[in-house]
Amino acid sequence: MTATLLTGIAELVTNQPGLGDQSPLGLLSDAAVVVQDGRVAWVGPRTAEPDCDDRRDLGGRAVVPGFVDSHSHLVFAGDRSAEFAARMAGKAYDGGGISTTVRATRAAGDGELRRLLAIRIAELRAQGTTTVEVKSGYGLTVEHEARCLRLAREFTDETTFLGAHVLPADFARRREEYVELVAGPMLAACAPYARWVDVFCEPHSDHAFRADEARVVLEAGRASGLGLRVHGNQLGPGPGVQLAVELGAASVDHCTYLSEQDVDALSAARDTTVATLLPGVEFSTRSPYPDGRALLDAGVLVALATDCNPGTSYSTSMPFVLALAVREMHLTPAEALWAATGGGATALRSNDIGHLGVGAQADLTVLDAPSYLHLAYRPGVPIARALDL
């Protein structure tokens, strides 16, 4: 395969301090990149660019690593716009609306779910996302959870088994039985299609799972070779963060209500467990945002993701999330961009995405702007897109 020289890059974000400047973003002005065989082969100033048969001039745009959306629920049918409207009119959210989506998802054929997945992934890419994690969790039977993951696998390697998303209504008085099903036959059917296992650990919702139940599912997932992720501390203070840190989960997601002990635990575990913030949820549920500033100041490793789902955050847009992080959680534009790229890659324990060092996957996102600062500065304007090579 021939090498392609990308030139006309007004500002390159490498996320490799020293490759550009010494900041965490490793910024390089007036840069060039050589891509070969789907990998970054060379990065440097335009004045030192090597000869290549194939050249593309990006016309003075900024280039950033493709966004890594490390938390989404893209396999679903139907929508819940009426629930959104009701919530905006003052009705509280307690996680119960998930059953509406479960019904619609079970009723949809494989072809329909595949079509919907393809549309959503095209949306992500059109807004600069090059890696997406996709969870199950709207099947909630052995057959339907395995089907959702099999379909998700057609689009991404980053698939997560979330049978413990919500307690199905028919198990309302048989919680223990459902947890046994998830940790037993459902996990066995899903593990071949999954890299990760996740639980909605939330004692504030009757529909979600307590710490002891979450532990059973996570430990069974680990025994099956899956990495661990946790939905925790979304609706109120809870045990999710401590459980995630104790079990060495790759990430604990939401982190909206944290105690001082939770922040300390995440700070001490920064080499293992990432705090993934999902401010699209707080936006769409009109809830208080997590204190992203306090987490960064405490030395916690922070990622940003969309949590794209039909109930509480029906957005595929990482630039939107990034703008919320800057405006509402007081991250600097640089911190937000790193969290949406390097942070997401760390949350997925991947070394070759989330940066543009030599050897990285050639996942480049181009901005119709001279600087990455425009991502948060121009909210709602479609300036970011994944570069097709």
Return the half-sphere exposure (C-beta side, CA atoms, 13 A cut-off) of residue 125: 12
- Residues of 71-82 as b/e, b for ≥16 C-beta within 10 angstroms? bbbbbbbbebee
Q: How far is the CB of 265 from Zn ion (least distance, A)?
A: 21
The Cα 371–Cα 367 span in angstroms is 8
Give the other-Cβ count within 10 Å of 205's Cβ.
19
3-state SS of 335-364 is HHHHHHHHHHHHHCCCCCCCCCCCCCECCE
Q: How far apart are CA 355 and CA 77, in angstroms?
A: 33
Q: Is 133 one of the binding residues for Zn ion (CB under 5 A)?
A: no
CB of 71 to Zn ion, least distance (A): 6
Query: Based on CB atoms, which residue is closest to Zn ion, 262 or 307?
Result: 307
Q: Which stretch binds Zn ion (CB under 5 A): 7-15, 304-312, 338-346, 371-379?
A: 304-312
Closest CA to 280 of 332, 309, 321, 318: 321
Q: Shortest distance, CB of residue 51 to Zn ion, whole angstroms?
A: 47
Instruction: Pick the binder of Zn ion from 307, 336, 367, 369 (CB under 5 A).
Output: 307
Query: Nearest residue by C-beta to Zn ion?
Result: 307
Q: Which is nearer to Zn ion, 19 or 124 (CB)?
A: 124
Binding segment toward Zn ion, per CB under 5 A, in 173-181, 201-209, 256-264, 306-314? 306-314
Q: Count Cβ atoms within 10 A of the Cβ of residue 18 and give its class: 0-12 exposed, 13-18 middle, 19 or more buried.
A: exposed
Residues written for the chain: 389
Q: Which is nearer to Zn ion, 138 or 193 (CB)?
A: 138
Nearer to Zn ion by Cβ, of 311 and 342: the residue is 311
Residues contacting Zn ion: total by CB under 5 A = 1
Cβ closest to Zn ion, residue 277 vs residue 353: 277
Span of 118-126, 176-184, 301-309, 327-335 interacting with Zn ion by CB under 5 A? 301-309
Q: Label residue 225 left, alpha or beta by phi (over 0 means left) and psi (-120 to 50 means alpha).
A: left
Tally of helices (H runs) and strands (E runs) in the chain: 15, 15
Among residues 196 and 372, whose Cβ is nearest to Zn ion?
196
Residues 384, 239: Cα–Cα separation, whole Å: 37
Cβ at position 327, least distance to Zn ion in Å: 22
Q: How far is the CB of 217 from Zn ion (least distance, A)?
A: 15
Residue (232 or 319) nearer to Zn ion, CB: 232
Q: Which span sits near Zn ion by CB under 5 A: 210-218, 288-296, 302-310, 321-329?
A: 302-310
Residue ranges binding Zn ion (CB under 5 A): 307
